[in-house]
Homo-oligomer: A and B are copies of this chain.
Amino acid sequence: MTESPRSAPNPRRRSERSRRAILSAALELCSENGYGRVTIEGIAARAGVSKKTIYRWWATKGAVLLEAVIEAVVSTSPLPDTGDVDTDLVTHVTSVMRVFTSPVIGPAYTGILSELLHDEALARAVNEELVGPRVALVHERLRAGQRQGQLPPDADLELAVEMLYGPLYYRHALKRPFHDPDRIASLVAHVMRALRAPSPS
């Protein structure tokens, strides 16, 4: 009762430390052994926590790996606003290219993309928790470009996102990911030209 609050263990902080250890362990194991061989037991052993601790927060290994991928993607592929929408999209899409080829994040996201094709709940989670918020960021950046007169007010922003991300997913799906930032710069330039060219109708 006389103990100072400062010296009491902070359960939130301790949980956060476990959470980070679990997410790192999951990515490491996926990178080392492949998504198919990752188990909750293995993650628990590597992270130094009990299986019960993991199951308290996540229902499946897919959910653990999705959270790990989301944190890694958010921190490694920002969408800056320097005032030049073309430059900012090149920065962003190039960093997304690097997500697909990253030895740490790539294998986990590849495994998730393979599994979600026959797992509706995982597909929903990927769309709602990862892709949806990322797409919203791109839309926001494109709308700022519209406000600054860098893009026409009637540009089809949904299609813009599909044309920017599409080729990366296409090449990843066929195991021929982009490696060359010049190709990404060229892709972005093409998409921006498409959005700016007058519609023939």
Contacts and interface: CB of A to CB of B under 8 A. Distances in A.
B194 A200 contact: no
Contacts of A183: 159
A186 B163 CA distance: 11
Given A118-B36, A193-B194, A197-B194, A162 B167 contact: yes
A126 B197 CA distance: 35
Interface residues of A, number: 45
A63 interface: no
Interface in A90-109: none
A23 B189 CA distance: 43
Nearest to A86: B200
Interface stretch (A2-10, A49-57, A168-176): A168-176
Nearest to A191: B194
A117 B123 contact: no
B114 A175 contact: no
A165 B169 CA distance: 10
A60 interface: no
A120 interface: yes
A186 B162 CA distance: 12
Given A159-B186, A194-B197, 17 more contacts: A35-B118, A36-B118, A110-B117, A111-B117, A117-B175, A156-B186, A159-B183, A159-B190, A162-B170, A163-B163, A166-B167, A166-B170, A168-B170, A169-B170, A189-B200, A193-B193, A193-B199
29 contacts: A34-B118, A36-B118, A111-B117, A114-B114, A114-B115, A116-B174, A117-B175, A123-B174, A127-B175, A127-B176, A159-B187, A162-B167, A162-B187, A163-B163, A163-B190, A166-B166, A166-B168, A166-B169, A169-B169, A170-B170, A172-B173, A173-B173, A189-B199, A193-B194, A193-B199, A193-B200, A194-B194, A196-B197, A197-B197
